[in-house]
Chains A and B, each alone.
Chain A
Amino acid sequence: AVSTMWETEGLQTFGIVVVVCASLKLLHLLGLISFSEDSVEDELELSAVRHRPEALEQLEAQTRFSRKELQILYRGFKNECPSGVVNEDTFKEIYSQFFPQGDASTYAHFLFNAFDTDHNGSISFEDFVMGLSILLRGSVQEKLNWAFNLYDINKDGYITKEEMLDIIKSIYDMMGKCTYPILKEETPRQHVEIFFQKMDKNRDGVVTIDEFIDCCQNDENIMRSMQLFENVI
């Protein structure tokens, strides 16, 4: 009957269609025909971004380091990053080496953003040296400013509890899990509360730069510990 014939025909058609598709695929595989724009083999990429720092004299003028100190700093920097810039992954790697027990990548991320003042995704030698100049040779005001900038993740001028919680959690992450006493879940949160109790004078839930600097300057211990790191280089 007609329906039988149609069914037979249908099956044969199906079979033929399958065979044709398979052979097309085979030809495509063999490279004889191509359906779409095949991507050309990647040519050698240009070497990565190369950045040369400003001249020694200029940096001497802009920072508070002596010529010799700048030379020493640059040699170290250049050895680690011959291309002249540090990108975030390299930065995280370097920083993580000093904290083998824990996970330093989150804190390194915040640090990276604090150093990368022009937010272009990489730290050049100038950024690096400017940051160090503030931290090592800057006035107390400048150092506190820098710390505030570090805590203020979205750089809007206010430190909220969530931002502080992120920062503190990342610091606790660096400790790793083998600590004494054992790290509890609520430890970072409590730490944030203490901080806010101290810093947030008008109890509006955020810490502004003035509250922060004011509070720190009135605290002798913070003042004294700020002096600690001056001879690091």
Chain B
Amino acid sequence: MAAGVATWLPFARAAAVGWLPLAKKIMPKPPVDKKSRNDEILFVNVSGIRFQTWKNTLDRYPDTLLGSSEKEFFYNEDTQEYFFDRDPEMFRHILNFYRTGKLHYPRQECIQAFDEELAFYGIVPDIIGDCCMEEYRDRKKENQERLAEDTEAENATDTPLPPHSTSRERLWRAFENPHTSTMALVFYYVTGFFIAVSVIANVVETVPCRPLKGSKKDLPCGEKYTLAFFCMDTACVLIFTFEYLMRLFAAPSRCKFMRSVMSVIDVVAIMPYYIGLVMPENEDVSGAFVTLRVFRVFRIFKFSRHSQGLRILGYTLKSCASELGFLLFSLTMAIIIFATVMFYAEKGTKGTNFTSIPASFWYTIVTMTTLGYGDMVPNTIAGKIFGSICSLSGVLVIALPVPVIVSNFSRIYHQNQRADKMRAQQKVRLARIRLAKKGTTNAFLHYKEDGGFQDRDSDNALCLKNRSAFEHQHHHLLHCLEKTTNHEFTDELTFSEMCMTESVGYRTSRSTSISSQQGVSTSCCPRRGKRRAIRLANSTVSVSRGSIQELDTLQVHKTSAGPQRCLTLKGATRLLTIGGPPLCLSQEHC
């Protein structure tokens, strides 16, 4: 149902009176309205701030939380109001939606918080009014991009390898993330070095060296030390070929790899050498072949694997593709127009440079980009006028897309910086999570050490009372798991000590307290045969004794707030160990 239609329904029904005189058959009976039609004011208490509204207002949108019977779950009989434990500031906007029919997005709020509130109240974000829709979408997209980067950063470099990865997967990882192993790092630097060597060799071999003895002509170094350059080239190409083949072997999807830009660059960089080997030593052919050698310069692009900055530049250009396209297109149009004009303007002059329209292209380009080499100059007055118009418009056309490109670059650059910051933050966050997990485990171990499973009347009862009910229940849950598997939780230290001593029976003095209290569990292994028959028979007594005391702590005061939410799900989880008892192995109570 479209929004707000519910309000108009009574009107439409009343207007049906107009059909009565024309009707062919008898009208059907109207539905009986069971509930009373009186409108009442509802009280909605959101975190202490009381809102009041008509019931009808909320009923306008029956497929949301407030408009449907779902709000009955939140009704508090004692205070006769609906209580929501949510943000009151956001609720204002939600309620305004019911009142006015338009949902507005508050600019100062976090987009995710707003989205969550909408999801909670069952409102689809698509109905945001036009006034706020653009802002909402922009921020949402920005947020999504940021989250996508986060997950990318998580999944990328520093995740540890899955334990059973083939050598092929490991090789691929070594290629993609050189920091993972020293071999990969060495290979990375070696290839970088050889790329540099190859590029420098290409450059140097065209520099003129001192001529050979007995000849006057200056030779380029490449022809003087042909053998040396050939050997260097061979070495580089061998390394590049080896690297390419290794990457091809390790790639998870070979077709995709072969189509990727970097592999194309690799191939183009090494092909000229092999073609040169295959080519016969023929003067005419090698003349044309020399042109192919220009592709060797593509080796410099292999550096983009090594340099983050080059990659950023590449991304910038890619993301500004449409602006660059626009620039190219408008420039081409302008060049053609001005070249034609200049050609016809200079046509009459004797010995002019503007021999054809394509010849005028060169002049136009040089003028529009304000280079002005001066090799082609107009002589006629008309030519000079058009020439000056050409140079003025050139400045304008080029200046237009530049700010867009600059802003794109700045955005990508900041994104990259943010990615680095995010990675650093992620490490801190992971460390904190690990610490929290260890804290929980340590709390549990201390609980056991302090005799949490003994009778309550012992002296230890005092320190036990400091733990919250949640902790008690959580520890009970973990204890049940221990009983199910008949193994105990320990901490890292003890575990590594145990591994080192390689003997299950030994315990260090530090943890003898645990063993002395648990007693029976240490003898699980030798008594395995007997246990089948006795299976929990001994634990009957301890179950009844221990469980009653445990149950005392489990009573949750129904009226108390606070950790109730955790307890709800916590309680549910404890329940889920019900799958446990039939599997319980140990002789202690569960």
Contacts and interface: CB of A to CB of B under 8 A. Distances in A.
A230 to B, nearest CB: 9
A221 B539 contact: yes
B554 interface: yes
Given A94-B569, A178-B491, A72 B583 contact: no
Given A4-B284, A225-B584, A228-B590, A146 B554 contact: no
B578 A48 contact: no
A82 B125 contact: no
B55 interface: no
Contacts of B579: 111, 147, 150-151, 167
B210 interface: no
B578 A229 contact: yes
B12 to A, nearest CB: 26
A194 B582 CA distance: 11
Interface string B354-371: 000000000000000000
Contact of A30 (B328, B551, B556): B328
Contacts of A225: 543, 547, 581, 584, 590
Contacts of A83: 119
Contacts of B440: 100
Contacts of B277: none
Contact of A179 (B490, B507, B590): B490
Nearest to B285: A7
Given A46-B124, A171-B481, A12 B570 contact: no
A203 to B, nearest CB: 15
A75 B74 contact: yes
Contacts of B499: 182
Interface string B526-546: 001001100111011001100
Contacts of A74: 73
Interface string A113-132: 00000000000000010001
Interface string B543-572: 110010011001110100000111111111
Of A99, A151, A172, most B-chain CB atoms within 10 Å: A99
A172 B485 contact: yes
Given A147-B579, A190-B528, A221 B574 contact: no
Given A4-B284, A220-B540, A224-B543, A181 B524 contact: yes
Contacts of B572: 128, 132, 232
B335 interface: no
Given A191-B585, A194-B532, A76 B564 contact: yes
A233 B556 contact: yes
Contacts of A29: 318, 321
A144 B125 CA distance: 44
B433 to A, nearest CB: 9
A204 interface: no
Interface string B411-450: 0000000000000000000000000111011000000000
Interface residues of A, number: 87
Contact of A98 (B543, B570, B578): B570
A99 B440 CA distance: 9
A contact patch SS:
helix
A44 B568 contact: no
B539 A79 contact: no
B536 A180 contact: no
Nearest to B328: A30
Nearest to B544: A224
A178 B325 contact: no
A27 to B, nearest CB: 8
A45 B435 CA distance: 37
B585 A194 contact: yes
B288 interface: yes
A78 interface: yes
B249 interface: no
Interface in A183-233: 183, 187, 190-191, 194-195, 197-198, 216, 219-222, 224-229, 231-233
A140 to B, nearest CB: 11
Of B116, B477, B524, B576, most A-chain CB atoms within 10 Å: B576
B505 to A, nearest CB: 8
Given A178-B492, A224-B543, A224-B544, A44 B565 contact: no
Given A98-B573, A101-B441, A221 B540 contact: yes
28 contacts: A8-B285, A30-B324, A32-B329, A44-B125, A48-B119, A50-B124, A53-B73, A71-B74, A72-B568, A75-B74, A76-B566, A79-B85, A83-B119, A98-B478, A135-B576, A144-B582, A167-B579, A171-B484, A172-B487, A174-B481, A175-B489, A179-B488, A181-B525, A191-B485, A194-B585, A221-B543, A231-B551, A233-B571
Ranked 8 nearest A-B pairs via Cβ: A76-B568, A221-B536, A100-B437, A30-B325, A82-B120, A178-B495, A225-B581, A179-B487
Interface of A: 4, 7-8, 11-12, 14-15, 29-32, 44, 46-48, 50, 52-53, 55-56, 68, 70-80, 82-84, 94-95, 98-101, 111, 128, 132, 135-136, 143-144, 146-147, 150-151, 167-168, 171-172, 174-183, 187, 190-191, 194-195, 197-198, 216, 219-222, 224-229, 231-233
